[in-house]
Structure 1
Amino acid sequence: MQTFTEKAVEIIKQIPAGKIMTYGQIARLAGSPRGARQVVRILHSMSKKHNLPWFRVVNSKGKIGIKDSEAQAAQVLFLEGEGVEVKYGKYISLEIYQYHPE
């Protein structure tokens, strides 16, 4: 049986280019509906190790949640490079770009 972390990592790896998922959505699919903050920690600590597309994960409002301006700019650049429209430098339409693997 996979742990929550293992499931979350696998889900994040599956997000296709040009699509996004939310922290809470990943947490629910990994088996912990209230585990959105844990998904943030997984992305922060394991993105390099597992080569995760961290930039394809946003908050429940479709907003880039990273506070660091350099990391936020990188996320916008990566998303726009995949064809995702980022409005006002931080907002992404969940209706258009959200990935639903379920």
Structure 2
Amino acid sequence: MLDACHMLKLARGLLAMPQGVLLPGFRIPAKWKYITKLFEFQNKTGFRLGNRLTRNHAYFQRHKMKVALAAQVLSQSVADGLRHLRVKLKLPRFAGSEATEEYCWNEVKLR
């Protein structure tokens, strides 16, 4: 029997795999590197972009059993933050983050 808590952690772990997750309709796979780049941008500039990302979220390996961290990473606010940096601010390091944004957004819709 599948439980929601375990599935959230598995979805986060899948995104963190080196090859990422290739979603239908996207050339570039969803990758964890965009989550860490989002955290680093927010940490460096002081902007929050409406999400709760902390170091524990971006570098979750020591906290991989915490469901709240997985739920907050795979959220609409993280997807919106990625979109804002790519579309509005046009930052080159977020080019190709469309699939990661979609992955985060789809995880929200499935809950």
TM-score (norm 1): 0.29
Higher helix share: 2
TM-score (norm 2): 0.28
